[in-house]
Structure 1
Amino acid sequence: MFETLEDVRADCTNRLIRAAKDRKSPMHTPVIVTGDVDARVMVLRAFDSRAWTLRLHTDLRSPKAQVIAADPRMAVLFYDKGAKIQIRAHGEGQILTTGPQVDAAWAASTNFARRCYLGDGPGTASDVPTSGLPAEFEGVEPDDEQIIPARENFALLMITLTAFDWLYLAHTGHVRAQFTRTSDEWQGRWVSP
């Protein structure tokens, strides 16, 4: 099934393309790790297979935005239990708040999704369980005028991948490959699992 390093790289590319487009893909919600060694599950919104960049949405007020600005090192963990494939990736993150990519991502979102950026910033303390949303938007979609203030809190997290480790778990014997990026070229090697 995976006879060459090119087969493995193609498999990774195809899985990430699918993960960004298919909500049912097991790799649609990877674990994202910032330089402060904090991990969280996020939704993969897009994958650019030429630039090897991941696009995720985030709140500019979240602690991770400040961490990434100070230390752009990132790790990403994808896992497909059914296929028994794990991809561990490393790269550099960047928070974008303006520009055509940010505007396009905002425009492609629904007001129901955008409302997340209307509430309290991530990590805001509360005396009671809370979604952080203003009460009038609990379960309610804001209109176009009501959503305007949310835009200033919306940001993209772009992660440019520089290395990845692919592991196929097989009862006949696991198979593992590692790839590093130099300029626009990927160099791969087989390694023992």
Structure 2
Amino acid sequence: MHHDFDTIRRDLVERLSQAATDRRSAMHVPVVVTSDIGARVMVLREFDRDAYTLRFHTDTRAPKVAAVEADPRMAVLFYDKEAKIQIRAKGIARIERDTPLAQSAWDAGSNFARRCYLGDGPGTASPVPTSGLPQELEGVEPSEEDIVPARENFAILVVTIERLDWLYLAHTGHVRAVFDRSDEAWTGRWVSP
């Protein structure tokens, strides 16, 4: 099953596609690492299997936005404990604020989800435990009018994958394959785990 590049590439594509569409997927919330070695868990919103891009939502005030804009190199780590599969994706990221893709992602969200962008910026200090949301919106879905100011704080983070590292953990011996992208072509190679 895990001994040829075509099978593994198909497995990678199917796992990333499922991770973006199935909230119960073990890979739905990968660890995203920016070049400043900041790491955080984020929800994978979309995997474009033709362009090999990953899409996440972010607050424009989050430190990761400045990190990506200063140095766009990124890594994303996915792990499925049950399947014993780890996927490491490396690529180049970009932040999109006012593009059609960003607007489409905003339009697809519910007001309940969009309200996160009405609160204090990520990392804002507080003397008490807080969600950062305005008190009147705690546990409440805002109206269309309430949500308007949130749009300026919303952006998408898009990672164009340049390398995929696939690792299958097995008691009989791990198997690892690395795929590098050159233009639109992918080249696979076997490496020691």
Give the corresponding residue for 2:147. Answer: 147
After superposition, the CA RMSD in angstroms is 0.5
Q: Figure out how many residues of one structure are paired with residues of the other and give that number.
A: 193
CA distance in 2 between counterparts of 1:98 and 1:50 reads 23
Tell me the distance in 1 between the aligned counterparts of 2:99 and 2:69: 17
CA distance in 1, matches of 2:20, 2:34: 20
For 1:191, the aligned partner's letter is V
In the aligned structure 1, how far is the partner of 2:53 from the partner of 2:47? 6
Q: Distance in 2 between matches of 1:191 and 1:34?
A: 25
Q: What corresponds to 1:106 in structure 2?
A: 106
One-letter code aligned to 1:149: P
Query: Aligned partners of 1:166, 1:107: CA distance in 2, in Å?
Result: 34
Identity rate, percent: 64
Q: Which residues of 2 match residues 67-106 of structure 1 at below 5 A? A: 67-106=67-106
Aligned-pair CA distance for 1:3? 2.3
Runs (4+) of structure 1 moved beyond 6 Å? none
1:138-191 CA distances to partner (integer Å, 9 max, x unpaired)? Answer: 000000000000000000000000001110001111100011100000000111
Aligned twin of 1:30: 30
Provide the rounded CA distance (Å) in 2 between the counterparts of 1:40 and 1:93: 15
Q: Distance in 2 between matches of 1:149 and 1:118?
A: 7
Q: Distance in 2 between matches of 1:102 and 1:110?
A: 15
Distance 1:106 1:9 in 2: 31
Amino acid at match of 1:43: V
Q: d(CA) in 2 for partners of 1:47 and 1:173?
A: 30
Aligned to 2:166: 166
Query: What is the rounded CA distance, in whole Å, between the counterparts of 2:17 and 2:98 in structure 1?
Result: 24
- Structure 2 SS opposite 1:142: coil
Confirm or deny that 1:192 pairs with 2:192.
yes
CA drift of 1:54 comes to 0.2
